[in-house]
Amino acid sequence: MMRTVTVVGASLAGLHAARGLRDQGYDGRLVIVGEERHRPYDRPPLSKEFLTATGEPDGGLGKLALTDPEDEAELDAEWLLGVRADRLDPASGAVGLADGRTLRTDGVVIATGAAPRTLRATALPGVHTLRTLDDARRLRAELRAAAARVVVIGAGFIGAEVASSCAALGLDVTVVEAAPLPLVPQLGERMAQACASLHAAHGVSLLCGTGVATLRGTDRVTGVELADGRVLPADVVVVGVGVRPVTGWLEGSGLALDDGVLCDEGCATALPGVVAVGDVARLARPGTGGTVRAEHWTSAAEQGAVAARNLLAGATVEPFGALPYFWSDQYGARIQFAGRREPGDTVRIAEGDSDKDAAGGFLAVYERDAIPTAVLAVNRPKPFTRLRRELARGPRLAVR
Amino acid sequence: MIPVGRIEDLPEGESLRIEAGDGHAAIAVFHSEGAFYAIDDTCSHQDASLSEGWLEGCYVECPLHAALFDLRSGMPTCLPARKPVRTHAVTVVDGMLYVHPLVPAVQEEAVA
């Protein structure tokens, strides 16, 4: 019998798990622990309109808020915000907090997300990562204060969105990417090339195939020295080189940790009463022998209900099988991707011309043995949605 | 009252976005299952154009996060949207389709 469930992590995944518990009739004590002092808020806008919007953001969450008073009343949770969980002891059913408190709990939802990877020696003023609202506020202020030249390290989706926002603010932007081409693992080479072309089409330099040797500057960053010896002057540097799941607090808990918390296909860990959701959760993929850890907004939102159900059932009664989906807004283009692309899948362009004019929009279908596996669209929301729905109910993808 | 066009220019299953003029948010107009509907074009959750959404019966699915909105009431039926979008009355006169911004749709369908 679950009398207390503690959700560790107060962002999208944790909130949806908490809602999932209440939606499924859990009426016991619900505690939500969050390292940030904020109530749950939406992160995707932080690299986009939050940076470019005119007017000063107020001190609150504003449009970013994921809950309102009515919603919070329905959740009926105890919020412990601004404090980090630093220990899980399954034997005694305890979650330890960094301020010394210990919470006794019957069930635990691990939703601690991920933290940005950093470069060595990035404590210099003027060097930013972007994950939280407070990160975004600091970056926003600096971009407006003194910045003229911005170097973005990493051309993944966050890096590309920040570069796009900086370009929209009229700043001189260079993006540095260590790989020969960004986003190849996600999109495959041809489509990665199409998306990378958006940078140049909007006046942003993309330098690929070169790592960063060091950051220049003593009191504040002044430039980025590349591995090939070039130096890029910079007033602001944004590091977007991926994230690491936040699992340090689970060392010694007995949970299997390997770039995330290892779970079965239903978000359940090997420890009874402990489930994991969102960026921190690495789920088994039945029938493949593999595992998958998604960093997608939709996965974080959708895993909550599944995890809640399995936690309350005391066993995995429902697998998480939603079709992977993510989107990115950059340079006025909306990029959407859905499906499970494998290396070697062929690409068929169904609309537009991705090679000559990616910014003009296109629709690409990934296929294996002539069967669609995934779909990528730039500014083609309607046909994208049709294909996404077909993929979601397709026989091949329904096999679990 | 804004003229949208001839009804034959908005076939069954189609949608379009119209500008509603100074200070008014854009409006999405739909033709689904024999009826016309108009709601605010921008999803109440995040910046996405509902006129580009997936139309099914009297619901439209937001193209970004798959929130469903009831075209008759503007109410979201599921997360992530939590707030309704506004509805706008639609009339058909002599085969011309008109939208009446800020006049809420009565919860009856405008019949083609």
> Each residue of A353-389: pLDDT tens digit?
998 888 899 999 999 999 999 999 999 999 999 999 9
**pLDDT given for residue B44 in this prediction:** 74
Report which of A60, A42, A352, A234 is spatially closest to residue B45, judged by C-alpha positions.
Answer: A42
CA dist., res. A274 & res. A252, Å (int): 15
Q: Answer whether residue A301 shows pLDDT above 70.
A: yes
Confidence of residue A54 (pLDDT cuts 50, 70, 90): confident
CA distances from A212 to A159, A160, A232, A242 (A): 15, 17, 10, 15
* Furthest C-alpha separation in chain A: 62
A→B contacts (Cβ < 8 Å), by residue, are: 16, 19, 42, 44-45, 49, 66, 68, 71, 297-298, 301, 327, 329, 334, 336, 381-382, 384-386, 389
Which of A285, A286, A372 is CA-nearest to residue A337?
A372
SS3 sequence of A319-385: CCCCCCEEEEEECCEEEEEEECCCCCCEEEEEEECCCCCHHHCEEEEEEECCEEEEEEEECCHHHHH
Q: In the prediction, which pLDDT does A63 show?
A: 84
Which SS3 state, helix, strand or coil, does residue B83 take?
Answer: coil
DSSP 8-state symbol, B15: E
What's the pLDDT at B77?
Answer: 84
Residue with tokens 């260590």: A178
Probe site for chain A from B17, B42, B65 (most A CB atoms < 10 A): B65
What is the spatial distance between Cα A332 and Cα A342, in angstroms, rounded to a whole number? Answer: 28
Nearest to B52 among A45, A49, A381 (CB): A381
Q: What is the pLDDT of residue A56?
A: 73
Chain B nearest-CA distance from A313, in A, is 23
CATH class of A332-398: alpha beta
Backbone angles phi, psi at A385, to 5 degrees: -60, -40
* Per-residue pLDDT reduced to its tens digit, A199-253: 999 999 999 999 999 999 999 999 999 999 999 999 999 999 999 999 999 999 9
Which of A45, A384, A386 is opposite residue B46, by nearest beta carbon? A45
Query: With b meaning 16 or more CB within 10 Å and e meaning fewer, what string describes A157-177?
Result: bbbbbbbbbbbbeebbbbbbb
pLDDT at A194 over 50: yes
Which of chain A's residues have a Cβ under 8 Å away from the Cβ of B63?
336, 381-382, 384-385
Mean pLDDT of chain A: 94
Which of A334, A378, A380 is most worth mutating to test chain B (most B CB atoms within 10 A of its CB)? A334
Percent of chain B at pLDDT above 70? Answer: 94
pLDDT at A394 over 90: no
Distance of CA A179 to the CA centre of its chain: 20
What is the token pair recorded at A350? Answer: 């169904």
**Between chains, do A382 and B64 touch, taking CB under 8 Å as contact?**
no
Per the CB < 8 Å rule, is B52 touching A382? yes
Instruction: State the pLDDT confidence band at A131, using cuts at 50, 70 and 90.
Output: very high
Q: What is the pLDDT of residues A317-347, one digit of tens each?
A: 999 999 999 999 999 999 999 999 999 999 9
Q: How far is CA A252 from CA A59, A82, A89, A102, A225, in A?
A: 38, 24, 8, 16, 40
Tokens of A389: 């729905």
pLDDT range class, residue A400, cuts 50, 70, 90: very low
Tokens 């992160």 locate to: A43
B57-89 per-position pLDDT tens digit? 899 998 888 788 999 999 988 777 778 899 999
- Min Cα distance B43 → chain A (Å) is 12
Q: A67, A68, A335, A385: which to substitute to probe chain B, counting the most B Cβ within 10 Å? A: A385
The domain locations on chain A are 4-115+244-313, 118-241, 332-398
A382·B79 Cβ contact <8 A: no
Q: Where are the beta strands (DSSP E) in B7-109?
A: 15-18, 27-32, 35-40, 54-56, 59-61, 68-70, 87-93, 96-100
Instruction: Tally C-beta pairs within 8 A across A and B.
Output: 36
One-letter identity of residue A240:
G
Looking at domain A4-115+244-313, what is its CATH homologous superfamily? Answer: FAD/NAD(P)-binding domain (3.50.50.60)
Per-residue pLDDT of chain B (112 residues; tens, 9 = 90+): 899 999 999 999 999 999 887 778 899 999 998 999 999 998 877 778 999 999 988 999 988 887 889 999 999 887 777 788 999 999 999 999 999 988 888 765 545 4
Residue B29 dihedral angles phi and psi, to the nearest 5°: -115, 135
Dist. CA B87–CA A49, nearest whole Å: 26
Q: What is the pLDDT of residue A395?
A: 55
Cβ of residue B26 closer than 8 Å to a chain A Cβ: no
% pLDDT > 70, chain A: 98
Q: Kindly tell me the burial class for residue A213, based on how many C-beta atoms sit within 10 Å of its own C-beta (0-12, 13-18, 19 or more).
A: middle
Asked if A336 and A376 touch (Cβ cutoff 8 Å), the reply is yes
pLDDT score for A346? 96
Enumerate the residues of chain B whose CB falls inside 8 A of the CB of residue A44: 46
Q: Higher model confidence: residue A69 or residue B108?
A: A69
pTM over 0.90: yes
C-alpha closest to that of A155 among A82, A204, A100, A88: A204
Structure tokens at A8: 């560790």
Structure tokens at A147: 């910045």
> Is the pLDDT at A270 greater than 70, yes or no?
yes
Peptide bond into A324 cis (omega under 30): no
CB B41 within 8 A of CB B50: yes
Report DSSP letters for B19-33, one per residue: ---TTPPPEEEEEET
At residue A31 the predicted structure's pLDDT band, cuts being 50, 70 and 90, is very high
| pLDDT at site B111 | 52
**Contact across the interface for A297 and B47, Cβ inside 8 Å:** no
Q: Using a CB-CB distance cutoff of 8 angstroms, which residues of chain B are in contact with residue A381?
A: 48-49, 52-53, 63-64
CB-closest option in B49, B65, B82 to A68: B82
* DSSP state, residue A80: E
Contacts of B93 (CB under 8 A, 6+ apart): none
- Does the predicted interface ipTM exceed a cut of 0.90? no
- Which class in CATH covers the domain with range B2-111? mainly beta
User: Is 80 exceeded by the pLDDT of residue A352?
Assistant: yes
- In this model, does residue A117 exceed pLDDT 90? yes
Residue A132: closest CA among A37, A8, A248: A37
For chain A, what percent of residues have pLDDT higher than 90? 89
| Distance, CA of A292 to CA of A314 (rounded, Å) | 23
Q: Closest Cα of chain A to B63: distance in Å?
A: 6
The domain spans of chain B are 2-111
Which CATH superfamily includes the segment(s) A118-241? FAD/NAD(P)-binding domain (3.50.50.60)
Q: State how far the Cα of A393 lies from the Cα of B59, in Å rounded to an integer.
A: 19
